[in-house]
A and B are shown apart, each in its own frame.
Chain A
Amino acid sequence: MAFDGAAAIARAVKSRTRTARAEVEACLARIEALNPRLNAFTAVTAERALKRADALDAMIAAGRDPGPLAGVPFGVKNLFDIEGLPTLAGSKINRDLPPAHADATLIARLEEAGAILIGALNMGEYAYDFTGENAHYGPSRNPHAPDHMSGGSSGGSGTAPAAGMVPLALGSDTNGSIRVPSSFCGLFGLKPSYGRLSRANSFPFVSSLDHLGPIARTVEDLALSYDAMQGPDAADPACTPDGIEPVTWLLGRGVDGLRIARAGGYFARGADPAAFAAVDVVAGALDARRSVDLPLAAEARGAAYLITMAEGASLHLDRLKTRHGDYDADVRDRLLAGAMIPGAWVARAQKIRRLFRARMLTLFREVDILLAPATPCRAPRIGQKTMLLAGREMAVRPNLGIFTQPISFIGLPVVSVPVWTQGEALPIGVQVIAPPWREDLALRVAGELERRGVVMAPVAKPQ
C-alpha cells in the first residue's frame, strides 16, 4: 500500500476501498522503519496527519467530495512553512525562529485537494547545495544505495518517495535542487516555469531564481499535484496573475507532432558517459535525431552562478555577521565569498538572463522539446569531494548542477525523467525541457516515455 502512487491512493480512498487513516498509518510505519537509516524526515507531523485523515474519512462517509488527492500523504522540504514548527531550511540557526503561524501556500493547496501533510524533509543548508548532505542533521541517503548521495538541495524530497515513505514530496529548485535529487534517486521531478507556483511562506534562497515543485514516482502524480497547486497568489510577487492551466487531462495526448531535439554543444560534453547514454535512450525512444546548440548556455550557467552567490550572500549578510560560526562550513564560505562579488558583475549577469531568454525563445520557434542530461554523473558517494568528468577532476558540490543551472536561469519548465541501465544500481535523469509556460508539453513527453517503459521510478528495495 505504501508503494501506491498518489493517483492510486486517491482512487482507493475515494471509492472507500481504503481509508485515509490507513494510508497515513502505513506511511508512518514505513517512516518509522526506514527513517533512522535513510534520514529523509526531520519532523513527522503524525498527530496532525491522523487528525486530518479522520476528518477526510468522515467527509467521504458523509458523501462529500474529498478532492483529487484524497488521502495522499506528502512530505515537504523543510524550507516550507508548517504551522507550529520553525522553518529550518536545513539550518541550525533557524531553530531559533518562532514557529510558523501558517502553512506555506502550496501545502494549503494540496490539503484543499485532499492530500495530507505528513512531515518536513531534510535538505542542504539554506538550499545552497547539490549533495543532500547536511552538517547539522546528517545526510539524507539514497535509498537505492545508502552510501551514496540523495542529491540536493531537496535531498529528503528525493529519499522519501524513492524509499516508498510517501508517494509525493515538494522541493525547491533554484539551480537544480528538484532535478538533481530526481536524477540521483530515480524519480520524476517537475520544476515548473518561474512564477508558476507560489513561493509564499517558504524560506527563500535566491528570489530571482527560486522555484517550488513536486517530486513523485509517476508522471500522473506530478500532474495531479501540480494542477492542485496552481493559481495566483498576491503574497508572492513573482507568481503569475494568470489563471490556472490544468495539465492532467492532457497527459494521454502523447508526443505525435512534437518537434523534439537533443541539446548539443555545452550539454553534450564535460560529463560521465552515463549522462549522455541516458539521453541517447530517451532520444532514441522518441526518434529525436536532431541536435541543436543552445546559444550562450555556458555563459548563462556562469551568470546564474554569480547571481546565486551575490543574492544568497545578500539574504544572509546580517546572519553572517552575527552567527557565522553556526553555518555549515561549506555553505558559509560560499556565502562569505558571495558577499564580495562586485555589483557590476551581478547587474551584467541579470542582463544576460534577458539575452539568453531571447535567444531561447527564438530556438523554440523551431523546437517544442529539448532533451539534456539532468546531472553529469550518477549519485557520488556521500562525503565525496571531487569527481572525474571527461578526464578532468572537478569539485562535486558546485558542479552537479552544470546542466540544470542554465535552464532554471531563464525559468523554463522541465520534467526530470529517470533512466535505469541494466547492471547499474543507480539511475540517472534526463531533462525534458519545454518552452515557457508549457509544462503540459514536458509532462506529455514524460508520460509517453513512462507508458513505453523507457523511464520508471521503482521504490528502492530495502538495503
Chain B
Amino acid sequence: MSDFDAEAMIDAMAPFLGLTVEDEYRAGIVQHLNAAWIIAQSVLAVELKDDAEPAPVYRP
C-alpha cells in the first residue's frame, strides 16, 4: 500500500492549483489518489530508455 499521506497532499496541492476542496469531497479524492498511486507503481516500473518518445499526435 501507499506510504504517502493523501490528506496532506490535498492540503498542499489544492491551494497550489487554486482548487476548493469541501470537506465532503475529501474521502473521494483520497480514495482516487490512493488508487492512482497503486496503479502508478507498475507504470513507473517500466524501463524507459532516455530516447523513448511519447506520441504527441498519435497515429496507431
Contact = CB atoms under 8 A, between A and B. Distances in A.
Nearest to A330: B28
Nearest to B34: A337
Interface in A271-299: 296, 298-299
B10 to A, nearest CB: 7
Interface-central residue, B13, B31, B36, B42, by most chain A CB under 10 Å: B36
Interface footprint category on B? 35 or more
Interface in A214-255: 237-238, 240
A354 B55 CA distance: 6
Contacts of A340: 9-10, 13, 17, 29, 33
B19 A354 contact: no
Interface stretch (A63-71, A117-125, A343-351): A343-351
A299 B42 contact: yes
B52 interface: yes
Given A194-B60, A195-B59, A350-B55, A334 B32 contact: yes
A333 B28 contact: yes
B55 to A, nearest CB: 5
Contacts of A240: 59
Contact of B40 (A302, A325, A336, A337): A302
Contact of A306 (B21, B22, B43, B58): B43
A240 B9 CA distance: 41
B6 to A, nearest CB: 9
B25 A332 contact: yes
B39 interface: yes
B39 to A, nearest CB: 4
A411 B60 contact: yes
Interface in A171-226: 193-195, 208
A351 B48 contact: yes
A339 B28 CA distance: 14
Interface in B7-56: 9-10, 13, 17-22, 24-25, 28-29, 31-33, 35-36, 39-40, 42-46, 48, 52-56
B57 interface: yes
Contact of B53 (A337, A354, A395): A354
A329 B60 CA distance: 34
B43 A345 contact: yes
A341 interface: yes
A348 B48 contact: yes
Contacts, number: 116
Given A298-B42, A337-B29, A354 B13 contact: no
B57 A237 contact: yes
A303 interface: yes
A410 interface: yes
Nearest to A352: B46
Nearest to B59: A195
A309 B59 contact: no
Nearest to A296: B46
A324 B45 CA distance: 34
A337 B36 contact: yes
Contacts of B10: 340
A333 B9 contact: no
Interface string A313-330: 000010011001100011
Interface in A369-414: 395, 398, 410-412
Contacts of A321: 18-20
A193 B52 CA distance: 23
Contacts of A349: 43
B30 to A, nearest CB: 8
Contact of A324 (B17, B20, B36, B48): B20
A436 interface: yes
Nearest to A208: B58
A338 B33 CA distance: 8
Q: Which 6 residue pairs spanning A and B have beta carbons closest together?
A: A333-B28, A411-B60, A337-B32, A350-B54, A436-B60, A302-B43
Interface of A: 193-195, 208, 237-238, 240, 296, 298-299, 302-303, 305-306, 309, 317, 320-321, 324-325, 329-330, 332-334, 336-341, 345, 347-355, 357, 395, 398, 410-412, 436-437
9 contacts: A194-B58, A240-B59, A309-B32, A332-B25, A340-B33, A341-B36, A345-B40, A351-B53, A437-B60
Given A240-B59, A351-B48, 4 more contacts: A324-B25, A340-B17, A353-B58, A412-B60
